[in-house]
Structure 1
Amino acid sequence: MTPSSARPSRVPGTATKTDNNGNLIWAMHNVWLSYRHTMDIRIVRDVLYPILAKAVNFYDHFLHEGGDGKLHLPLTRSPEWADAEDCTYDLSLLRWGCATLLDCLRILRTDHPRARRWREILDRLVAYPRDATGIMIGADKPLTESHRHFSHMLWLYPLHELDWDRPADRDIMRTTFDHWVKDRSLWAGYSYAVASSMASRMERAEEALDLLTFLTDGNLIKNAWITPNTMYVEGGNLATESPLTAAQSILEMAVQSHNGVLRVFPSVSRRWPDLSVHSVRTQGAFLVDADRSAGRTRWIRVHSEAGAPLVLHHGIPGPIDVRDTRGRPLRYRRTGPGRIEIPLARDATALITPRGHRPDPAPRDVPAVGDAKPWGLPD
């Protein structure tokens, strides 16, 4: 880029603000996921940590103490919708950024002169503005019409700051999500896919499938639709974000791995009684194979590439067997209904089955439910 074409920095709290202030931290969340799926510490050391520290420091310049003693943000923009002080989009990314920087220090076994400040921001950052409709766009800025973007809900997905596993989080997650999805008049294709992923995270399997198939069935969504070759048209533009998001929505139904728990078949519709997955990579650098038949999990196989802690929500009712590749019992600890912790070493594999079952743990083709055209293939 030549100096004459360079654009000036956009400053929160001024007329030069844009809806892109938080985008660098959001990009770093994708880098974090790359680390978590590989457990390659070089990603943290060489990319995530140095960039994220600068991105968080940018926000720190604009934080100010309010009369409530909390740290607040000046006017920024919630992408594609409205200007607001204490914008939820920016607050959620800043909160995630500070927490992740402290995780980086632990991973790298180092310290940083600003670590105390990152902890202070986490302790004092103002809570998300909320009203009867749930968490709002920002201070005094509720969501009052259809909004195709989920920028005010990053704390739910994909950041997972609030978690359906915690009963205290469920009401605000449910209320905010229901308010967003009730008016879809201005939605785009990816809105349906992200809403499907959010529904899966809240164990609303039937709704998750309905939202996904509305998109994948080729319905016209304003001026957008998915084409038979899996691409996406929005007006005169061709794009890939909606098909990629739809693919992720399918994975959210089959395998999830957020907040330190690996969940297999966590949100599968009753309309999908059979499902088979093979070599799905998850956080913790695990590779997962699993099979579901007639609505019940037949077996799960987890291979560890890094020896990371494994907490598995298997969802198999009743007693189970946990064995290695030679059929020998593996030690495990039950941590909750349908959930176990397995001390699985690097390059080790665990096979989890209902007690006494010895299935053939191999992937299989699952026939379509009803008439269906394979995506991307000619008639």
Structure 2
Amino acid sequence: SPEADYITDKGYRGSSFYGGTADLAIIRELFKNTIKGAKALGIDNDYQQQLQSALNRLRPYHIGKRGNLMEWYHDWEDQDWHHRHQSHLLGLYPFHQISVNKTPELAAAATKTLEIKGDNSTGWSTGWRINLWARLHRADKAYQIYRKLLTYVSPEVYKDSKHRSGGTYPNLFDAHPPFQIDGNFGGTAGVCEMLMQCDGETMHLLPALPKEWPAGEIKGIKARGNYEINLVWNNGKVSKASITSKNAGNLTVKYNGKLKTFSFKAGETKLIK
């Protein structure tokens, strides 16, 4: 992040450097999606190979001496370890480059990063952290941060521009000087991530369900891959669900400790009981 400075071993303080983790995460996502799109269209074979070659040469994620996910090319000190920005966690959310199941060591490093930063942050950053904790399958933390996002804040509090603890105004706007709708969008996205996660190939139902929500129902939730889900749960487990796919293809669904693969026709609905 350009607002979160590093300090080199020689004491130099800076905010940009080659090989930043956030930059590489974005490049990695761009290359992968471009290759996937070209394959689906059956075009640009040579260009696909060029991108794949470049993708293979990108610097991988690294874990720092604190057990955290490194933000910079070198394992430098942060000027503020509790800074509200977590740009280097893009690979965890919204991307799917880091996950509890596929990259457990990196997921643990992302967890350590969030633990070091602490829970206090601005509104938009708080909204993002709900999603990050949900991706780490930490229902307890996701719910805790969600409740923090909904903490009542009087508009009078934010007349002091130094106030940076987030919350929600009486009109349900995210509290931040000035107002930023990112916190509202992040909060609703976080609820969805607690109830369902999907990377387009595998869908996980109730991956980070907090104990405070033992039973509930959600309808019309959308998932990556052009899916629509209706979901009912009781006693912390899926009791009924329907998944409609707008496209033909296969989807693996994880629920109640089970793993099942469904084959869809375009417009078909599958039921889970």
The TM-score, its normalising length taken from structure 1, stands at: 0.62
User: Match of 2:88, as an amino acid?
Assistant: H
User: How far apart are residue 112 of structure 1 and its match?
Assistant: 5.2
Q: Deviations over 1:161-210 (max 9, x none)?
A: 122122xx223222333233433487211222222211111211111100
Matches within 5 A, 1:122-271: 122-133=55-66, 134-140=68-74, 141-143=76-78, 144-166=80-102, 169-184=103-118, 187-218=121-152, 222=164, 224-235=166-177, 237-258=178-199, 260-271=201-212
Out of 338, 344, 356, the residue aligned to residue 258 of structure 2 is 338
Instruction: Give the CA deviation at 1:223.
Output: 5.8
Structure 1: which 5+ runs fail to align?
A: 1-77, 316-336, 354-379
Letter matched to residue 234 of structure 1: H
* Counterpart AA for 2:150: T
User: 1:105 matched to which residue of 2?
Assistant: 38
Amino acid in structure 1 at the alignment position of 2:3: E
Letter in 2 for 1:293: N
Identity of aligned residues (%): 18
How far did 1:242 drift?
0.4
Aligned pair count reads 252
Which residue is equivalent to 1:121?
54
Asked whether the equivalents of residues 226 and 247 of structure 2 are also in contact (C-alpha less than 8 Å), the reply is yes
Conserved in 2, the CA contact under 8 Å of 1:275 and 1:292? Answer: yes
Between the aligned partners of 2:218 and 2:144, the Cα distance in structure 1 is 21
* Aligned pairs for 1:27-46 within 5 A: none
C-alpha RMSD of the superposition = 2.1
The AA in structure 2 aligned to 1:90 is D
Using the alignment, how far apart are the partners of 1:308 and 1:88 within structure 2?
33
Partner of 2:214: 273
Structure 2 counterpart of 1:210, one-letter code: Q
Shift of 1:212: 1.0
- Which has the higher Rg, Structure 1 or Structure 2? 1
The runs of 4+ residues in structure 1 deviating greater than 4 Å are none
Q: Deviations over 1:113-143 (max 9, x none)?
A: 4333211211111223431232212122344
Contact 2:199 2:225 in 1 (8 A): no
For 1:345 and 1:281, how far apart are their aligned partners in 2? 17
Alignment match of 1:304 (pick from 220, 245, 253): 245
Q: Distance in 2 between matches of 1:94 and 1:250?
A: 28
Q: Determine whether 1:89 maps to 2:22.
A: yes
Contact 1:303 1:350 in 2 (8 A): yes
2:124–2:180 contact (8 Å) kept in structure 1 = no
Query: Relative to structure 1, is the Cα distance of residues 164 and 224 closer, same or farther in structure 2, using a 3 angstrom cutoff?
Result: closer
Q: CA deviation at 1:276?
A: 0.2
1:199/1:207 contact within 8 Å kept: yes
- Over 3 Å counting, the alpha-carbon distance change for 1:223 and 1:206 in structure 2 is closer
Q: Distance in 2 between matches of 1:224 and 1:305?
A: 38
- Which residue pairs with 2:12 in the alignment? none
Which residues of structure 2 form unaligned runs of 5+? 5-14, 158-162
Task: Report the CA distance shift for 1:258/1:228 in structure 2 as closer, same or farther (over 3 A).
Answer: farther
Task: State how far apart, in whole Å, the 2-side matches of 1:92 and 1:185 are.
Answer: 24
Could you give the per-residue CA deviations for residues 306-331 of structure 1, whole angstroms, max 9, x where no partner exists? 1232211122xxxxxxxxxxxxxxxx
